[in-house]
Structure 1
Amino acid sequence: MIRRTLRVVLAMLYAFAGWKHIVDPAPFLRITPAWVWAPDAVIFWTGVAEILGAAALVQPFSPRLRQAAGIGLALYALCVWPANVNHMMMDLVRPDGGWGMAYHGPRMIVQPLLIWLALWAGQVIDWPFGPRGKPAG
């Protein structure tokens, strides 16, 4: 029940973020590292990927599709981490400190948790709640 609830919550967060990427790309473009090629297209397609991943994560028909969504969303969270680091670095050098470490510190900590949650909610992994393997002996 907890996994299902968190799966729905995660899907809602990704669906909302995907929608925001598509309808209001400006904030995402501002934090996109300069080395990203075709940032407008990247932001649009990441929004599409978030929405599709969210839909696949909560669909009830195919456990394999749910697992693929979990893997895809975990990889997505890993791939956008450079934008989050870039945003933090840009903010911290601003004269006013931007959002500050009170925002960016937890955000950096949450990113690996999002990666884990996508894998766990997608039923790719059971750790740390599942069996730990065979006992020695």
Structure 2
Amino acid sequence: MTLSRTARLVATAFTVNGVLHLVRPQVFEPAMPAWVPAHREVIVWSGYAELACAAGLAVPQTRKVAALAGVGLLVGVYPANVQMAVDAMAGDKPAWKALTLARLPLQWPMIRAMWRTARG
């Protein structure tokens, strides 16, 4: 089974975001909901998780498990993305507002692509 175009885009996004979580975790700290403990650690570990999902998607033998993990990861980080969008609305950067809002509905096709990949 080969990866769909959307699944390849998700794997690329996981790779880029995973690296960013590791090298610039402070970028993500404002997006963390207050109820999540140990913000920095959660950010770093989510970066590792994104990289693991991306790597797993590249290997046919681990693709289904990696895709299921990707579904969980995308659902798990959704509250932080909502928080980032809410916070952006209070700011004065129109482009940032648009980006954070646009990302929310785009996450659903990513979840669907991972789900379809997991189902084979």
- Normalising by the residue count of structure 2, what TM-score does the alignment of the two structures yield? 0.87
Contact 1:67–1:123 (Cα < 8 Å) also in 2: yes
CA distance in 1, matches of 2:87, 2:77: 16
* Unaligned runs of at least 5 residues, structure 1: 126-137
Q: What residue in structure 1 maps to residue 42 of structure 2?
A: 42
Opposite residue 32 of structure 1, the aligned amino acid is M
Q: What residue in structure 2 maps to residue 52 of structure 1?
A: 52
2:89 to 87, 92, 100: 92
How big is the shift at 1:4? 4.1
How big is the shift at 1:7? 3.1
Equivalent position SS for 2:35: coil
1:69 to 53, 62, 66: 66
Q: What residue in structure 1 maps to residue 29 of structure 2?
A: 29
Pair 5,89 (structure 1): closer, same or farther in 2 beyond 3 Å: closer
The structure with the larger Rg is 1
Opposite residue 22 of structure 1, the aligned amino acid is L
Q: Report how many residues are paired.
A: 119
Q: Which structure has the higher relative contact order (CA within 8 Å, separation 6+)?
A: 2
- Normalising by the residue count of structure 1, what TM-score does the alignment of the two structures yield? 0.77
RMSD: 2.0
Equivalent position SS for 1:80: helix
CA distance in 2, matches of 1:106, 1:66: 28
Contact 1:18–1:51 (Cα < 8 Å) also in 2: yes
Q: What residue in structure 1 maps to residue 19 of structure 2?
A: 19
* Unaligned runs of at least 5 residues, structure 2: none
Equivalent position SS for 1:69: helix
Tell me whether 1:124 sits opposite 2:119 in the alignment: yes
